Homo-oligomer: A and B are copies of this chain.
Amino acid sequence: METNIKVPKTRNGKATFQLIVDTTIDLFYKQGYFNTKITDITNAAGIAAGTFYLYFPNKLSLYKYILMEFQHDIRKQIAVQVATVEGRFNKERIGIKTFVHYALQNPHAYNIIWESLYIDKQLFIDYYDGFAKRYERGLKQSIIDGEMHDVDTELVSYILMGVANFVGLKILLDLGHHNEDPDAIVDQVMEIIKTGIFK
């Protein structure tokens, strides 16, 4: 499959390219990838059908572009926030908090990333595997520094991703219908993780 994106060269071209991307993010979020037709995108963007193909050979290549943009954004935000924080527990707390904030401010991102499992399984695997590996690095250092118990870092990274994702999901979809301040929820979650759940 053709995967190459044509990069626009002028101010106008860049604007159209970005308009397609932004419109598509909105539609992918609202209707899902498979329910979004090329004509839906071009109609919503107010451009001709053919204009889409000036920049993207097909819908999948556009999806991959969007996914990579999100991945880049989210990792960068977490890295920036975490960098200024001391101690592994606080780093995790801020990391999860940043993740949840990102999910709240970009609800489409959350949704679109998960859909990769049904669009191309390998995309999904690469995404979470990559995330977990970055996580592990930090966790290993914390064990060396004596801030954490000597746990299986790979497993813990999946546990923390699972917690972040489901708590993010709960807040996003408002499951349970009584969500308070996201930060407060994250603090509670971290307290539970720290103390353990059972007596």
- Let me know if B156 and A162 touch, CB within 8 A: no
| Min CB–CB distance A105 → chain B (angstroms) | 20
- Let me know if B185 and A155 touch, CB within 8 A: yes
**B interface footprint on A107-121 (CB within 8 Å = 1, 0 otherwise):** 000010011011101
Q: Which residue of B lies closest to A30 (CB)?
A: B121
Is A170 positioned at the interface, with any CB of B under 8 Å from its CB? yes
Stretch of A49-57, A71-79, A141-149 lying at the B interface: A141-149
- Of the listed residues A125, A155, A188, the one surrounded by the most CB atoms of chain B closer than 10 A to its CB is A155
How many chain copies? 2
- Let me know if B132 and A155 touch, CB within 8 A: no
Stretch of A2-10, A14-22, A38-46, A190-198 lying at the B interface: A190-198
| Min CB–CB distance A72 → chain B (angstroms) | 21
| Interface size of A in residues (CB-CB distance below 8 Å) | 54
| Min CB–CB distance A24 → chain B (angstroms) | 15
| Chain A positions 62-114 with a Cβ under 8 Å from a chain B Cβ | 88-89, 92, 111, 114
- Let me know if B197 and A148 touch, CB within 8 A: yes
- Let me know if A192 and B147 touch, CB within 8 A: no
| Min CB–CB distance A27 → chain B (angstroms) | 13
Is A58 positioned at the interface, with any CB of B under 8 Å from its CB? no
Is A48 positioned at the interface, with any CB of B under 8 Å from its CB? no
Q: Which 8 A-B pairs have the closest CB atoms?
A: A162-B166, A34-B34, A196-B196, A162-B162, A32-B118, A89-B198, A158-B170, A162-B163
